[in-house]
Chain A
Amino acid sequence: MSVAAQPSLLALESRFLWRSRLALAVLAVLVAAIGLALANGRALLAAQQASRAAATAELAEADTRLRAGIAKGMPLADAVMLPIRVRLPVIAPLPPLIDASAGQAVLMADAGAASLRTRADTLFGRSSLENPELLMRGGLDLGFVVLVVAPLLLVALGHGMIPADRDSGALRLVLAQGGGIGRLLLARSLPRLALVLGPVLLALLWLGLSGPDLPGRAGALLWWGLIAVASLILWWALVLLVNSLRASADAAALALVALWALFTLVLPALLTALVSLALPLPSRYAVIAQARAAEVAATAAWDNDHAEASSDEVASRRAALARTVEVTGKVAAATAPIIADHARRRAGRQAILDQLALIAPPMLAAQALAQAAGSDAGSVAAFQSAASAHAGQVRARLAALAARPAPMGSADLDHLPRFTPPAPAAPPRAALAWLLALAGLAGLAAARNLNRLQPD
């Protein structure tokens, strides 16, 4: 067998594939889906940036007004109320690749303000106003293309590489030619993989070149790309495995579609449902009921939350402010254990689900893609917990300032803690290794079968 002949077999197979209507149909669906995904991603990214920018601008403007007021000087009765007027921005870091994997970000509040009255349960009261009727249809992002659309396209392109020859009888001649079935499969695999992987990687490249210069975006692109490629290679290994079995093209197509449905539709839904049934989360209403009970118990006959309206006198304003601090503190203390318990159980449930995802690779890949993009549930939870902790610190500092005899000055403003977002999650190394290991196993099994391949 001449070595030089190999690229020409590849070229020939590429030409045959390119000429087939199937390849054109696959390319059309893929390009359309990617186009939609990129358009959606771009719109989401712009909306997220705009929303953060607007929140930042509004809070900066409030800060400027506050500082201008302080600089201009104000009566003591107004100055003592300054701690309750301070609102510090708590802005979620923009997931660096949210335009590829939207993850949980569409649902979550991206901005809040920490103040004297902010508690963990009120920091993010303003969640997105998106139409739930649109949210329920699901999103179409690049992750969806990689996890859902592309594998089916690979199945369409690859299910018959050997079985179709077996059906037509050409496999006997193919094997008799003695070139090695592995070489033929390689020559058939590469253009098919390229047909699907190429547009996906081009889309990723386009995101890299055209997208904003966000911190961590390059790394996110790299890891996202690695997971996407690994996930598609795993699917291709399964395609090869089914090709190596003694099956007709129709049976191979059925087997691969069934595998796809099992791993992509059935198992994720089933596992998520079973975990939710087995480990139900405590009710969100419990926080509401507890917060209300604590608030009503902590407040006296006339308390309300406009301390500034209580009176014009310094002493009574101070007293009202102290009451606000006390009530907020009591409610926060009463709800903290419920919120912490909720977060802990949610994290525990997610951890179990992440382990179960090992048997449903598309689910694992979905998590890993979102993790690489910074939009996964874990990143959202990490931000929320850091934000809650920060809100607690701000409240404590402002409470101390409120209790201090001297009114707040702009130096006090400068010394208030600023929110620093938690460090981004580690790249999904384990998921990558697992996907590649599974692909390796399926590939090895396919190779073993191929060595014993019989023409009929």
Chain B
Amino acid sequence: MAALLEARGLTKAYGDRLALDGLDLAVAAGETLCLLGANGAGKTTTLNLFLGFTQPTAGAALVDGRVVADDPAAARARLGYVAEVVSLYPSLSGAENLDFFARLAGVAVDPARRDAILARLRFPAEAIARPAGTYSKGMRQKLGLAIALMKDARAILLDEPLSGLDPAAANDLVAVLRETAAAGVALLISTHDIFRAKEVASRIGIMRHGRLVAMVDPASLSASELEQLYLTHMAERAA
């Protein structure tokens, strides 16, 4: 199956410092790749390059087979993006935020479809008419996901989606992410939460100093083995 997200020798330098160094990866439809790494490992830079928010120094990010830098707008049209803190317009209701972002993406809003997506995400129905300023973090993440699903994103990039969520909300979101992937969406998630990564990912990439230092199958390792592996790589950095 062709990769929806693909990095080929993706490199980004800020001056002398290499934020990303020859990254190669591919995420196919229905697959969830978690990028695991400490702050500054290059996870967010990777997401920015896929979104076309910044230009690669070398190599290329591809979305659905097209080079992002050549036509960032076309890449973004196929992508969904969920930030660590989904920033919504606090004075607008959830529904209005959804409408706005959908229309921004050029999608005509069908209320029935919107309700179906929200139901699938187990978004509390009565909250959709409330101002988004009153939402909990979990609700914001779900609404962010709903925004991505509304535009029929083929691939969704999630930046630390689980950090700061209480355990119940995190469990809920993990389930929602699994269902989303199962529906055929490619997910690329940056995180430093090893245990949640194991729960949600079909593959886990460990990043350090802008390089992908390991790619593991979470099913083949126990949580503690994964932690050990991660710490080993981190320790190498410290050494």
A and B touch in the complex (CB under 8 A): yes
Which of chain A's residues have a CB closer than 8 A to the CB of B157?
A: 176
Complex alpha-carbon distance, A175 and B83, angstroms:
12
Interface pair A173/B53, CB less than 8 Å apart: no
Which of chain B's residues have a CB closer than 8 A to the CB of A348?
A: none
CB-based nearest B residue for A452: B55
Interface pair A1/B101, CB less than 8 Å apart: no
Complex alpha-carbon distance, A302 and B73, angstroms:
94
* B81 in contact (CB, < 8 A): yes
Interface pair A8/B87, CB less than 8 Å apart: no
Interface centre among A165, A174, A177 (most CB of B within 10 A): A177
Interface pair B103/A175, CB less than 8 Å apart: no
Interface pair A5/B87, CB less than 8 Å apart: no
* A35 in contact (CB, < 8 A): no
Stretch in B104-112, B118-126, B171-179 with 4+ CB within 8 Å of A: B104-112
The answer, among A168, A172, A178, for a CB contact under 8 Å with B75, is: A178
The answer, among A9, A12, A170, A176, for a CB contact under 8 Å with B76, is: A176
- The residues in B between 44 and 59 inclusive whose CB is less than 8 angstroms from any CB of A are 51, 53-54
CB-based nearest A residue for B50: A176
Which of chain A's residues have a CB closer than 8 A to the CB of B106?
A: 1-2, 5-6, 179
CB-based nearest A residue for B89: A170
The smallest C-beta distance from B161 to any residue of chain A, in angstroms, reads 13
* A4 in contact (CB, < 8 A): yes
Interface pair B101/A173, CB less than 8 Å apart: yes
Number of residues of chain B lying within 8 A (CB) of chain A:
36
With A2-B106, A170-B88 in contact, do A454 and B53 touch (Cβ < 8 Å)? Answer: yes
Interface pair A12/B105, CB less than 8 Å apart: no
With A168-B87, A170-B88 in contact, do A4 and B147 touch (Cβ < 8 Å)? Answer: no
Which of chain A's residues have a CB closer than 8 A to the CB of B204?
A: none
Interface pair B108/A175, CB less than 8 Å apart: no
- The residues in A between 1 and 41 inclusive whose CB is less than 8 angstroms from any CB of B are 1-2, 4-6, 8-9, 12, 16, 19-20
The smallest C-beta distance from B103 to any residue of chain A, in angstroms, reads 4
Interface pair B53/A174, CB less than 8 Å apart: no
Complex alpha-carbon distance, A168 and B92, angstroms:
14
Which of chain B's residues have a CB closer than 8 A to the CB of A178?
A: 72-77, 79, 105, 151
Which 5 pairs between the two chains have the least Cβ-Cβ distance?
A: A178-B76, A1-B106, A176-B81, A169-B87, A170-B87
Given A173-B147, A176-B81, A183-B104, 15 more A-B residue pairs with CB atoms under 8 Å apart are A2-B108, A5-B103, A5-B107, A6-B106, A9-B104, A16-B100, A20-B91, A168-B87, A172-B81, A173-B81, A174-B101, A175-B76, A176-B157, A178-B74, A179-B105
19 pairs, CB–CB < 8 Å, chain A vs chain B: A2-B106, A5-B106, A6-B106, A165-B87, A168-B90, A169-B85, A170-B87, A170-B88, A170-B89, A172-B87, A173-B101, A173-B147, A176-B157, A177-B81, A179-B103, A184-B104, A454-B53, A454-B54, A455-B53
Which B residues are within 8 Å of any A CB, using their own CB? 51, 53-54, 72-77, 79-81, 83, 85-92, 96, 99-101, 103-109, 144, 147, 151, 157
